[in-house]
Structure 1
Amino acid sequence: MEPLELTHQVIQSMDIGKIFKDNHSDINSMSFSDDCTLLITASDDDSVNIYNIIRGTREKLLYNKDYGVENIKFTHHPNAFLCSTKKGTEHLIKYWSSFDNRIIHNFKGHTDDITALDMSPKNDMFISTAKDKQMILWDLRQRKGLARLEYRESSGGGMCAFDPHGVIFALVYPVVTQNITKNYIKLVDCNNYLDGAFSTWEIECPEIKGIQFSDDGKYLLAYTVESTILVLDAFDGSKKLVLRDFLNENGKVMACFSPDSKYIVTGCERNNGIVMFDVNSGQKVHEMKGHPKTPTCLAWSREHVLLASACQNLLFWVPDFNKLRPSG
């Protein structure tokens, strides 16, 4: 897995490098460590698995039977992660040490199911959204939230994400009026968060279920409950692309950018596939198959040409160098 520039040819050569069948239920979230040597997954069977990317092995298995686990995220330390609880009435964010399987702290502040977590790429701040229609800004070093942004008019739980430089963060939530869904995207300055949002965009489309900034900072990816992915200009919210050449009728499939911001990958209910699109042209570049069920979770390694995808099984996709060698 040496550094390799992503091209159409490389994308089209990608094939299954490893399959893990460690879970009894679907994987609901995953996250790479900062150096991309580890991948952590959370499953509906209440388990947390940690995988070594270099060795291609499972390194650790943890459980949270009482509360369940979802929205898992590595902190900036490879032995510590965040996750939200899936069961119970406390709606906690757990700050968990994998080194000694110890809960460092339970962050309390939400009053309903937590829908998203994201960690600042720059420091120890993180954000969360929930069905209580609040976004909370936290700091790992402080017990209480730093700030709250309420969106009571929302028809859903909302989602959130930091930009790649940790300068701003975004909140998105839907408002349904007379059967018309409008999504509001609010941008907040990390240094002036008490002032609230400095910009708000209004987008008419199916409910947005997740957002991600591209690593070059130019675009904001928004994937919806239906078979629609939007690529927005990260500065003014204008639409660059609308992708529909895949199937997501159940609204559970996520999408993400490749680390070079040139490609978008999404799960697809058709043939339980994974579809790759070119960001510049919007054209489908490749479709991969290998999952027994629809892969709903995806994550790219920023350090290797490696894509992780998950249904109940976890698959690592890597280039097949035999397909890349010149013939003759």
Structure 2
Amino acid sequence: MKITDSVLRSFRIARTYRENKDKVNCFVYSPDGKEAISTSNDDRIVVYNMTIGKSVQTVPSKKYGADLIRYAHGDSEKVIYSSNKMDDTIRLLSLPDMTYIRYFSGHTAKVTALSMSPVEERFISSSLDKTIRIWDLRIENVQGQTEPLDRPICSFDPDGLIFAAGVDSQSIKLYDIRAFAKGPFKSFEVRLNRICDWTGLNFSDDGKQILISTNGGMICILNSFTGDMMHKFSGYNNNKGLKLEACFTPDSQFVMIGSEDGRVHVWSIENEMKVAVLDGKHPGPISAMQFNPKYMTFATACKNMTFWLPGVDDM
């Protein structure tokens, strides 16, 4: 099924899970789209099996809390996640036996982003300690880090060769992962004409665009090669300056964000038109949302997890 305006408008809630008692902090699908995992402020990690449509495991993390989470490269039974309680160590967790395999220590302040390489066992992390660090899943010691960067966020590109750093909510720096010690090979300023903090940074699946999420009721899309501003989208509720997650659809043709009032707003990148506003019936702001990379479904979360499917009768 091709993603179109009418397909996006037809999406309806398929199932809602109330596994959590507090806000969901992060939600991601596995690369094959068959599994999904979330973290929340009630110190729990919940695993979902997308083929049977059920939550299949809950992993407590009461000592460390649970904030950002990502699947390990090539292995949906292992995840890395950051803490929001005890310290700023990143942990590699084996889901089947709920044991820690490795600890990645070094950050001295809150981790602001985690990004797994799509091609190898390497990941990057950014922190309020002004560093972006490069790690190997097989080795505890940090493999390298960037020069000091104010309030950094980071993300790998789809080929795993380049990573982008958002710096101080003002600029983007691009690094070659094979020569990151030399510094960025390209930098560009980003002017939003609005006072706000950047809360997320993601490449589109075709690698041609960079999506910047903010806490100021605006998201924007840049040309990833030139840094030129391509689009700015607003008109959704975020009056409290919350961290609301935005995402591309897998075809890189649409962008979506959850709002403070529990609705999902969808824009066409091609014509800059808002094509849908979907009511998620969330009791609170949508803190996390992701489109499945392989299947025609997406998920939104406040403290409840809601999964969506297109309504065939409406297309």
TM range (shorter): over 0.9
1:126-165 equivalences under 5 Å are 126-152=123-149, 154=150, 157-165=151-159
Residues of 2 paired with 1:86 and 1:318: CA distance?
32
1:252-267 equivalences under 5 Å are 252-267=243-258
1:30-179 equivalences under 5 Å are 30-76=27-73, 77-88=75-86, 90-152=87-149, 154=150, 157-174=151-168
Counterpart of 1:24, as a letter, is K
Residues of 2 paired with 1:222 and 1:43: CA distance?
23
Residues of 2 paired with 1:248 and 1:278: CA distance?
20
Residues of 2 paired with 1:53 and 1:163: CA distance?
25
Q: Does 1:186 align with 2:173?
A: yes
Offset at residue 232 of structure 1 (A): 0.2
TM-score by length of 1: 0.92
| Structure 1 counterpart of 2:286 | 295
Residues of 2 paired with 1:162 and 1:26: CA distance?
26
Residues of 2 paired with 1:313 and 1:221: CA distance?
25
Offset at residue 241 of structure 1 (A): 0.3
| Structure 2 counterpart of 1:203 | 190
- What is the identity percentage for the equivalent residue pairs of Structure 1 and Structure 2? 31
Offset at residue 97 of structure 1 (A): 0.3
Offset at residue 30 of structure 1 (A): 1.2
Which residue among 225, 236, 249 is the counterpart of 2:226? 236
CA contact (8 A) 1:245 1:284 kept: no
Q: Does 1:310 align with 2:301?
A: yes
Residues of 1 paired with 2:210 and 2:76: CA distance?
27
CA contact (8 A) 1:51 1:58 kept: yes
Which residue among 206, 215, 226 is the counterpart of 1:225? 215
CA RMSD of aligned residues (A): 1.1
Residues of 2 paired with 1:146 and 1:195: CA distance?
14
Deviations 1:147-178 (A, max 9, x none): 111335x2xx321100011110011121xxxx
Deviations 1:155-209 (A, max 9, x none): xx321100011110011121xxxxxxx6121111022122121111111233211
| Structure 2 counterpart of 1:177 | none
Counterpart of 1:17, as a letter, is A
**Number of aligned residues:** 309
Offset at residue 323 of structure 1 (A): 1.3
| SS of structure 2 residue aligned to 1:204 | coil
CA contact (8 A) 2:199 2:213 kept: yes
Residues of 2 paired with 1:105 and 1:94: CA distance?
6
Counterpart of 1:311, as a letter, is C
Q: Which moved more, 1:117-126 or 1:189-198?
A: 189-198
Residues of 2 paired with 1:310 and 1:56: CA distance?
16
Deviant stretches of 4+, over 6 Å = none
Residues of 1 paired with 2:144 and 2:285: CA distance?
37
Structure 1 unaligned regions, length at least 5: 175-181
Residues of 2 paired with 1:193 and 1:86: CA distance?
28
| SS of structure 2 residue aligned to 1:194 | helix
Offset at residue 70 of structure 1 (A): 0.8
Counterpart of 1:293, as a letter, is G
Residues of 2 paired with 1:151 and 1:277: CA distance?
35
| SS of structure 1 residue aligned to 2:170 | strand
